[in-house]
Structure 1
Amino acid sequence: MSPSTSIGWIERARKFLSPSDVRRGGLLEGGGGNYELLSPSEHYEPEEFDEAAFPIVTSLPGPFPTSAQVKNLRRIPGIVPWTAYAIALVELAERASYYGVGGLFPNFVQRPLPPGGPGTGAPPAGSQITPGALGLGLQVSTALSVVFSLLAYTTPLLGGLLADMRWGKFKTIAVGTGIAGIAHVLSVYAALPSVLQNGGAFLPFLLGLLLLGGSAGLIKANIAPIMAEQYTPTEDYVSSLPNGEKVIVDREATIQRVMSAYYGSINVGAFLAVLSTFAEKYVGFWLAFLIPGVIFLFMPILLYVVQPHLVASPPPSTSALLDNYRQVRKLVGSSHGTRRHSTDREGRSHELLDAEAGDVIRACKFFGFFVIYNIADGGLNALVTSLAGSMTTNGVPNDFLGHANPLVIVIAIPILNRYIYPWISARGIPFGPVRRVVVGFLLAAGGMVWSALIQHAVYKTSPCGYQATICDVGTGVSPLSAWLILPAPILSGLSESLAIVSAMEIGYMMSPPSLRSIINSLFLFTQGISSALVLAFLPIMKDPYLVWPFTITTIMTLIATCGVWKMFRYLDDDHRS
């Protein structure tokens, strides 16, 4: 058995067994420990185990904390390597290009070229007209936006499988980058004024949409796992600060910091997409699509620079996936795991495989509730953008207000990590990851309630009443300011800062090392399922029924919140212990 396998054994043992369940054996070459799990009849009594006399030897930067140190020492996150932050910049460039293009789809598809405009999709100066190009209506616009999201969040399964079984994470990202580059070229071509005016824009636009959505899956499945892999300690350990204070360097807190950096980079990139909203309003769609394409060019440059410095990912292998698949089938097919004291072809015991398979099952069940949450958190963005277009904007692009969401996230995550969470922890208030997810779900439901109320108010004040979306009477819009929509994206941003970051943390901590891209892909896949479910709303995504999608989503999200709390609150108890 290799030293790394032995350490993996003891990491798993420390999570599930007491110190008296582990007997230290001889040292392996390279400083690793060799440990033997005892049968129940051979267990030492706790009082006979002296942790100080028998320290556990590992490849960690410091020793494992003793029971006394766990109770008494302060916990701090470890240092996040610079390579993790460099990969976060890669994600920032990719998300800026993705949202910069994808955020334009509702106006580009739904609304026609504005009469009296320059023919680029921009409206006449000083008017309340919304930018447009293809004029295919709200239902087609929503359907294509859903298809785009569906591709972006189902293809991560392909990206995860290719990374973990065939190509490796970095090569999969590189292939996705090349495909996305082609998509950006097609998007800019479709938005050229000459192409828009001769009616030839739809096919290149559609092909660009499909390629960009598909490439996103290859990239997104692997960015977060690569970032987390840059932090190499596999367990908590004891370290000394420059002032002499001994502390426990907390792996979970460090991974939370990595995931916060990852999610923060996503939303900085998403906020940069605001440049495209003003470009479509005042110049035209060709510039609006070109800006994210230019930002995208930074991505291959960053990948080239950081690649030689990355910590090597586990090599691609089909065996880990197949072994865990078999164990999942056994666990699902019986009320208890089959325990055998044999090992698989990579030297892992079946007890360890059962534990890993159980973690995979729990992660999938937990992620299942995000299928509903995702509808409340961005699944109805096309409706919100259309709603803003039915209100008085006074020169502000109707799709600008939605960018308050990433701005709130960028501000909220550092505040939560630096001030709120430490303040709560110092006072012993239980606020583990499941509680954070529950609060996030409630905030998302609140955003849906607010959107329903604003839609109802627009129907009551529009010159066309309950036909507000296609109104051409007078100014064609409600006198209510579009800024009234702002609380909805703010609540959504706060919700994501709590729920999404915490879910990614839970998913990563539950994932077997060789399956992290696939497990991350399963979490992203919930977005794809959510997008497909949004299609069920299409019959009521038209006047006069537009209040109902928000109302129904609110009810479903509240039910999902109850389910998360009832089924998974025990994870917070484990987190506290």
Structure 2
Amino acid sequence: MLSRIRNWLRKDDLPGGYELLPASGADHDQRAHHLATLPHVPAPIPPASYAIALVEFAERASYYGVGGVFTNFIQRPLPPGGNGAGAPAEGSEATPGALGRGLQVSTALTGLFTLLAFTTPLLGGALADMRWGKFKTIVIGTAIAGIAHVVLVYAALPSVLQANMAFFPFLVSLLLLGGSTGLIKANIAPLMAEQYTPEGDYLATLASGDKVIVDREATIQRIMSSYYHSINLGAFAAIASTFAEKYVGFWLAYLIPGAIFLLMPPILYAVYPHLAPAPPPSSSPLVDAYHLARRAVAAKPGDERGEREHGSRDEAEAAQALEACKLFAFFAIYNIADGGLNSLMTSLAGSMTTHHPLIRRNPFAIVVSIPLLNKFVYPALEARRIAHGPVRRVVVGFILAAAGMLWCALIQWAVYHTSPCGYSATSCEEVSPLSAWLVVPAPLLAGLSESIAVVSALELAYTMSPAGLKSIVTSLFLFTQAISAGIVLIFVPVMRDPALVWPFFLTAAFTALASAGVWKRFKYLDTAAH
């Protein structure tokens, strides 16, 4: 098996029929003519990048698979008449459970797990860029997570649960798994993109004799799409874990994502000899970025003398990375529209008839939309010379997310006006006659927006950061999710009946304003890229 993987990884990045010629080799006028008239196409994704995407799939299957059943495992006790592994008796409507620690402990520990997953990428990015390198950091994170999975399955064994000895090993595994997430997640996307080595656009001759421009930006975009696609394929592991906890027990619910996680070590072993050379870890780019940021804060408006005096190439690259981070700040608002109010959305659906697990449709929308965007939408835009740079795509993604929140506000308003309890619909024992299927467009819009906006942000994180800061800049983008979660947490006390229309409406309004802010402040990046 490993030998087949290695043979596949040895394939050239480009299929037969491509003859790549540097565009800079032609004279300036001819080069400009080619860039303006020839079709721009992405290069094939390097096999090593696909292999690393499989690593991300396994890691995300592990994360979502176990995280999806943590709440029941912690909060609820072993069901009476169950099999002793957490599953209720056959035919029972009881909810699976294990530790019986209650809602507060469950909320605290699941919140801690999420917080670790959101914040430790900062550590993972810093260690990769300054000390260990991306691949070694991923390997160390994989080893820690592997230990966590073994301990987690042990904590869920029926004999351990029935002896009331499961809490401590479970807590250890939760901390190890949450902490290891950051070591892996901050480095997968930049390592995938790093495998595409050309530094600019190229003129290529196809087997048919047609000439095309192999576009680096389009290639990085496709690689990031593949990365994000693998994340959301992994998210479907939560479905298997949910069925396992209900019909077999928590040991199987944890074993399934753990078994998928075991894909990571052999893939990492096979791909390592085929990775593109990477710059050695160094603290210098981070130091340059720190000094640049400090001067930017201290400088008076219009004072450009310092910039001219310190205008080295390294600092210019650090300044570009700082611009990317400024754009990422807008994602602290976007993330609230894109999943930050999922609990309210689930509650909304629960106040309606025909309740379905709507949260699962977000990954489904992403898994379906990414190939469609790459195969049909973006090539069609390119063929018609319609500009669709990363900033434009971010703006479109923001608008789609805002539309999803506005739709939820309208549905919540309709539920209040059709519920037997009126503006107390959330706590009402009866439900609105409206179908929960009316909520489905919101997660579908959110999933489509992620496929466009988040993929574009990851592309910017890679292309706008110097070699020594790519993992750190990516981790800063991921950290915006922690900021968004904190903002939502602040307003949780006021998110209740009869005012649940307002969280959706205000989130839609602020996300729409953020889209305008992104375009006004950063549209020049699309112009500069072309």
Query: Do they fold alike, i.e. is TM over 0.5?
Result: yes
Map residues 291-330 of structure 1 onto 2, 5 A cutoff: 291-330=256-295
The verdict on how the C-alpha distance between 1:148 and 1:462 changes in structure 2, with shifts beyond 3 A counting, is farther
State the shift of 1:546 in Å.
5.3
Map residues 74-473 of structure 1 onto 2, 5 A cutoff: 74-109=39-74, 117-118=82-83, 120-123=85-88, 130-133=95-98, 141-193=106-158, 195-196=160-161, 200-334=165-299, 335-336=303-304, 338=306, 350-385=311-346, 400-452=357-409
Match of 2:470 among 512, 516, 538: 516
Which residue pairs with 1:16 in the alignment?
A: none
Q: Which amino acid aligns with 2:364?
A: L
* Count of residue pairs brought into register by the alignment: 503
Q: Which amino acid aligns with 1:426?
A: A
Which residue pairs with 2:7 in the alignment?
A: none
SS at 1:248 equivalent:
strand
Preserved CA contact (<8 Å) 2:79 2:89: yes
The verdict on how the C-alpha distance between 1:205 and 1:482 changes in structure 2, with shifts beyond 3 A counting, is farther
SS at 1:569 equivalent:
helix
The verdict on how the C-alpha distance between 1:116 and 1:388 changes in structure 2, with shifts beyond 3 A counting, is farther
Q: Which amino acid aligns with 1:509?
A: T
Deviates more, 1:263-272 or 1:274-283: 274-283
Preserved CA contact (<8 Å) 2:75 2:106: yes
SS at 1:314 equivalent:
coil
Which residue pairs with 2:523 in the alignment?
A: 569
CA-to-aligned-CA distance 1:276-295 (integer Å, 9 cap, x gap): 12223333333222211111
Preserved CA contact (<8 Å) 2:40 2:382: no
The verdict on how the C-alpha distance between 1:495 and 1:63 changes in structure 2, with shifts beyond 3 A counting, is closer
Partner Cα separation in structure 1 for residue 252 and residue 421 of structure 2: 33
Q: Greater helix percent: which structure?
A: 2
SS at 1:273 equivalent:
helix
The verdict on how the C-alpha distance between 1:252 and 1:192 changes in structure 2, with shifts beyond 3 A counting, is same
Preserved CA contact (<8 Å) 1:120 1:283: yes
Which residue pairs with 2:450 in the alignment?
A: 496
SS at 1:313 equivalent:
coil
Preserved CA contact (<8 Å) 2:409 2:504: yes
Superposition CA RMSD, Å: 3.2
State the shift of 1:469 in Å.
6.6
Partner Cα separation in structure 2 for residue 321 and residue 566 of structure 1: 28
Partner Cα separation in structure 2 for residue 443 and residue 82 of structure 1: 33
State the shift of 1:275 in Å.
1.3
Preserved CA contact (<8 Å) 1:360 1:519: yes
CA-to-aligned-CA distance 1:288-331 (integer Å, 9 cap, x gap): 22211111111111111111111121111112221232233334
Q: Which amino acid aligns with 1:519?
A: V
State the shift of 1:192 in Å.
3.7
State the shift of 1:537 in Å.
2.9
TM-score normalized by structure 2? 0.85
Preserved CA contact (<8 Å) 1:149 1:531: no
Match of 2:441 among 475, 487, 490: 487
Preserved CA contact (<8 Å) 1:331 1:354: no
Which residue pairs with 1:62 in the alignment?
A: 22
Preserved CA contact (<8 Å) 2:152 2:169: yes
The verdict on how the C-alpha distance between 1:145 and 1:543 changes in structure 2, with shifts beyond 3 A counting, is farther
The verdict on how the C-alpha distance between 1:233 and 1:369 changes in structure 2, with shifts beyond 3 A counting, is same
Partner Cα separation in structure 1 for residue 75 and residue 336 of structure 2: 20
SS at 2:203 equivalent:
strand
The verdict on how the C-alpha distance between 1:477 and 1:173 changes in structure 2, with shifts beyond 3 A counting, is farther
Partner Cα separation in structure 2 for residue 146 and residue 62 of structure 1: 50
Partner Cα separation in structure 2 for residue 69 and residue 159 of structure 1: 41
SS at 2:214 equivalent:
strand
Partner Cα separation in structure 2 for residue 464 and residue 281 of structure 1: 32
Which residue pairs with 2:459 in the alignment?
A: 505
CA-to-aligned-CA distance 1:489-547 (integer Å, 9 cap, x gap): 21111010011011111221111112111111111111122222222133245666655
Partner Cα separation in structure 2 for residue 153 and residue 365 of structure 1: 19
The verdict on how the C-alpha distance between 1:492 and 1:149 changes in structure 2, with shifts beyond 3 A counting, is same
State the shift of 1:443 in Å.
1.9
Preserved CA contact (<8 Å) 2:79 2:96: yes
The verdict on how the C-alpha distance between 1:533 and 1:202 changes in structure 2, with shifts beyond 3 A counting, is farther
Partner Cα separation in structure 1 for residue 91 and residue 510 of structure 2: 41
Partner Cα separation in structure 1 for residue 100 and residue 431 of structure 2: 18
SS at 2:388 equivalent:
coil
The verdict on how the C-alpha distance between 1:140 and 1:469 changes in structure 2, with shifts beyond 3 A counting, is farther
Partner Cα separation in structure 1 for residue 367 and residue 525 of structure 2: 27
Partner Cα separation in structure 2 for residue 121 and residue 416 of structure 1: 42
State the shift of 1:434 in Å.
1.7
CA-to-aligned-CA distance 1:467-502 (integer Å, 9 cap, x gap): 77777x6xx877765545432321111010011011
State the shift of 1:185 in Å.
2.8
Partner Cα separation in structure 1 for residue 63 and residue 353 of structure 2: 28
SS at 2:236 equivalent:
helix
CA-to-aligned-CA distance 1:27-57 (integer Å, 9 cap, x gap): xxxxxxxxxxxxxxxxxxxxxxxxxxxxxxx
Q: Please say which structure displays the higher CA radius of gyration.
A: 1
- Percent identity reads 65
Which residue pairs with 2:12 in the alignment?
A: none
Preserved CA contact (<8 Å) 1:139 1:538: no
TM-score normalized by structure 1? 0.78
State the shift of 1:108 in Å.
3.9
CA-to-aligned-CA distance 1:162-190 (integer Å, 9 cap, x gap): 11111111111011111112222333344
Partner Cα separation in structure 2 for residue 290 and residue 328 of structure 1: 46
> Where do 5+ consecutive residues of structure 1 fail to align?
1-59, 342-348
